[in-house]
Amino acid sequence: MSADGLILRLQNVTRRFGGLTAVDNVSFGVRRGEVFALIGPNGAGKTTLFNGITGLIPPTSGVVEFDGVDVTGLKPHRVASMGIARTFQNIRLFDFMSALDNVKVGQHCRMRAQLWDAILKTPLERREERTVEDRAMELLRFVGIERQAHNYARNLPYGQQRRLEIARALASEPRLLLLDEPAAGFTPQEKVELMALVDKICSQGTTVFLIEHDMKLVMGISRRIVVLDHGEKIAEGTPEEVRGNRRVIEAYLGKGA
Amino acid sequence: MIARVAALPVWLRENSRNPNALVYMGLVAVTLLFPTVVQFANPEQSITLINTAADAGVFVLMAIGLNVVVGFAGLLDLGYAAFFAIGAYTYAMLASGQLALTPAHHAVHLPFWLLLFVAVLVAATAGAILGAPTLRLRGDYLAIVTLGFGEIVPRLFRNLSSWTGGVNAISAIDTPSLPLWIDGPWDGGAPFQVVHDLKFTTFQPVAYYVLMALLIFVCIVLVTNLQRSRLGRAWMAIREDEVAASAMGINTRNVKLLAFSIGAAFSGFAGCYFGAKLSSVSPENFSFLVSVTVLLMVTLGGMGNIPGVIVGALVIYFVQYKILGDLPHWTTAIGSGIGLPARTVTSLSDLATNLNFVVFGLILVVTMLLRPQGLVPSRVRQEELTKGVHDEAVADVRGLA
């Protein structure tokens, strides 16, 4: 555990794709227990930054520190088992698995049954499967889609698919949850419900770090915000500070606005 | 135990509309009745028929194994016969006089029951060794590499003739004997026998048949357990979306390697049995055709569904060895029946022999057109046909491929 209360610290993180610098020398920190938001116009490098943190596309240079441990360039599954879970901007559920099974897969890295346990159905495996099933149902209930437990993920309505992704991410018992545009395509009513869900997750002790376009939503739920534009960090602070920031207004509305 | 037996009628009623349960029930009934019925219905051919059924079991075992690789984990393996060869040669080398002829100069005769497990381990290890460098490939590329492996292995066995006897094959391999505790020295030295004269000989194939039925039963139980475990879910997840699976904490490389290795293990199992039954193993037994046939059995039966691939294996085996084998026969019968001249009949039956594979191909094409999801499809496969699936590797997203 790091002494400064930061659960995630990014230091000079840069990601280049050939000649394009998608994330340019970005540094900031996420405090334990807060709801932290990353905003910025399209193409600002927000998702690339998430991919860098979770190891899907490791940063070209810079350091990602999770709870005081350097996780830069670790494989995605290692990052996940350390306690960082994520959702995806374009929903990436296991389409042809039931909602319940999706959440069970999320618990994979917390399960202990080995190959022999699985082949021979040892008591340990049976017990574990039962707890995994109970926990998965509990999570589906937590996000409010327990009635869909046995439906294929792809057959769920859009909003419920987003919720299922959150449930699946929570299944890996993360200490830090990364949500990539969780409210994309939501109606105002759904957005309100989502805010309540994020609040609930945060109050259970999971730090939430989210990417969001909707300024109103972001201002409502996050205590601190970082703004990216063209891969660079242009502002950081409370919603009020960010809202009044000259460069942020320029990034969103153009110069002279 | 008693509770389970008492629950059987309930189970039967609940599953009376479940195709998988029906298939299993049918398979059990046929397996139990087949040897008896055949002896009454067709006494002079019963030995051949039971023998053929036992041989078909080899393919059932392989189809179950390949289903783990292709059906569960979604990895296309075109060199599956290689592991079959490895299993068969493991048994052949360690249970015959062969090693006396090699630089080792010492024949080894280990018991069949032990070698079953040895062959499984050797094949699984071979699977892991092949898989480790190649499983970062995906789809077509993986298929090409495995295809190469499938060609290399039989060639290796042919060309390492100082060890394997090369094209001359290894023959006079030990046949299995019943374990000591079954034909033990009680009863005044006479072997204990449930079935009269139960021995592993070509002339009395019932023992092989029973052994094969038991092996298949065990394999079905094990694979079903796997499918319903953490590992089975991980395989499905990888097949659905590898990127999401890795972000959920699944070590995609290890899990894929396990699928590959387990698939290979089943093939080794089948290979060991095959060597023991045939009592002779030659590099010609493990051609590309074997790999393709097993893949066909999996696809045509219903990828990802265990009863499906078993049915697929049995159907294709039946078509290949019965329908295609009897085709010239039938042509002759029909030809002379409608009064064609003898020379025409002969050439027609020759034609039928030559067109064997055309007919086989036609049967396959028609089946796949009429029933693309397979004979007994898995639920997933049926739905997938209405929509594409993700096919993007972590390596692709990371730009490392």
Q: What is the mean pLDDT of each run of 10 residues along chain A (257 residues)?
A: 78 92 93 92 90 94 93 93 94 92 93 87 92 95 92 91 95 94 90 92 94 82 90 90 86 72
| Rounded Cα distance, B5 and B20, in Å | 20
B167 or A30, which is more confident: A30
pLDDT for residue B400 is more than 50: no
pLDDT for residue B193 is more than 50: no
Considering chain B, what percentage of its residues have pLDDT values greater than 90?
Answer: 35
Amino acid A167: pLDDT: 96
Q: Is residue A25 within 8 Å of A13, Cβ to Cβ?
A: yes
Q: Is residue B290 within 8 Å of B317, Cβ to Cβ?
A: no
Q: Which CA distances in Å does A226 have to A152, A243, B95, B129?
A: 37, 11, 70, 47
| Rounded Cα distance, B54 and B61, in Å | 11
Neighbour-count burial of A41, counting CB atoms closer than 10 A to its CB (0-12 exposed, 13-18 middle, 19+ buried): middle
pLDDT for residue B187 is more than 50: no
What stretch of H or E contains A234?
Answer: strand A232-237
Amino acid A215: pLDDT: 77
At B202, the amino acid letter reads T
Tell me if B250 and A105 make a contact (CB, 8 A cut-off).
Answer: yes
User: B398: Cβ–Cβ under 8 A, 6 or more apart, which residues?
Assistant: A56, A57, A58
Angle (CA) B47-B52-B57 rounded to 5° is 130
Q: Is residue A64 within 8 Å of A6, Cβ to Cβ?
A: no
Residue A10, classed as helix, strand or coil, is strand
Amino acid A80: pLDDT: 95
| Rounded Cα distance, A124 and A117, in Å | 7
Which pLDDT band holds residue B101 (cuts at 50, 70, 90)? Answer: confident
Q: Is residue B275 within 8 Å of B63, Cβ to Cβ?
A: no
Sheet architecture: strand order including A35-39: A84-86, A176-180, A207-211, A35-39, A224-229, A232-237
Half-sphere exposure of A253 (CA within 13 A, CB side): 9
Backbone angles phi, psi at B239, to 5 degrees: -65, -35
Which of A57, A96, A172 shows the shortest C-beta gap to B384?
A: A96
| Rounded Cα distance, B30 and B311, in Å | 12
| Rounded Cα distance, B41 and B46, in Å | 8
Stretch B165-172: mean pLDDT, rounded? 82
pLDDT for residue B397 is more than 70: no
Tell me if B241 and A129 make a contact (CB, 8 A cut-off).
Answer: no
Q: Which of A196-205, B1-10, B169-178, B382-391 has the lowest mean pLDDT?
A: B382-391
CA distance to partner chain A, nearest, from residue B398 (Å): 5
Closest chain A residue to the Cα of B242, Cα to Cα: A94
Q: Which CA distances in Å does B56 have to B116, B212, B252, B317?
A: 18, 9, 34, 6
Token pair for residue A98? 């039931």
Q: Which CA distances in Å does A29 have to B16, B325, B394?
A: 59, 73, 27
Tell me if B237 and A86 make a contact (CB, 8 A cut-off).
Answer: no
Cα torsion angle, B35, B38, B43, B47, sign: negative
pLDDT digits (tens, 9 = 90+) for B334-387: 888 888 888 888 888 888 888 878 888 888 888 888 888 888 887 766 666 655
Closest chain A residue to the Cα of B262, Cα to Cα: A115
Which of A57, A120, A172 shows the shortest C-beta gap to B248?
A: A172
pLDDT digits (tens, 9 = 90+) for B266-293: 999 999 999 988 888 888 889 898 999 9
Token pair for residue A2? 């790091």
CA distance to partner chain A, nearest, from residue B243 (Å): 8
Which pLDDT band holds residue B186 (cuts at 50, 70, 90)? Answer: very low
Which pLDDT band holds residue B170 (cuts at 50, 70, 90)? Answer: confident
Q: How, if at all, do strands A224-229 and A35-39 pair?
A: parallel
Tell me if A93 and B241 make a contact (CB, 8 A cut-off).
Answer: yes
Amino acid A72: pLDDT: 93
CA distance to partner chain A, nearest, from residue B119 (Å): 18
User: A65: Cβ–Cβ under 8 A, 6 or more apart, which residues?
Assistant: A2, A6, A8, A9, A10, A11, A71, A72
User: A196: Cβ–Cβ under 8 A, 6 or more apart, which residues?
Assistant: none
